Amino acid sequence: MSERLPGRHPVTPDGRYFVVRGRLWRMADPSLDPPKRERLVKELMAARRAVGTARRRKDAAAEESARLAVDRAKRALGERGPVWWSDGAPDLNRHLARTGPYADWFAAVEEATT
């Protein structure tokens, strides 16, 4: 069986993705050193809060700026942009887990949780 992120999300056996509502979401690059990863996660969370604040204020310029900050942090973490693995496997970020190379694994995960 797969590991799970704290809380509830299953992680693919290769550690590249976690699954939310049946979709694959790329994990952060595990080779990042812990202090750098922690700093980037803090930046990401601050940027996400800024998106929410800008949306509530209906400030389109601030929202766009905050979204760009989210994107920068996610790219630095390895969750977007070039993949962090080197075996040539394609990026399946946002693909359905029930299709493609993770289909059998995900079917077993679903069966185990129902």
pLDDT, one tens digit per residue, over 56-67 is: 999 999 999 999
Residues 114 and 102 in one domain: yes
**Cβ(93)–Cβ(24) below 8 Å:** yes
Same domain? For 70 and 48 the reply is: yes
pLDDT in tens, 3-57: 655 568 999 999 999 999 999 999 999 999 999 999 999 999 999 999 999 999 9
Which domain covers residue 104, as residue numbers? 1-27+86-114
Looking at the 3D structure of the chain, how many domains does it have? 2
Same domain, yes or no: 34 and 6: no
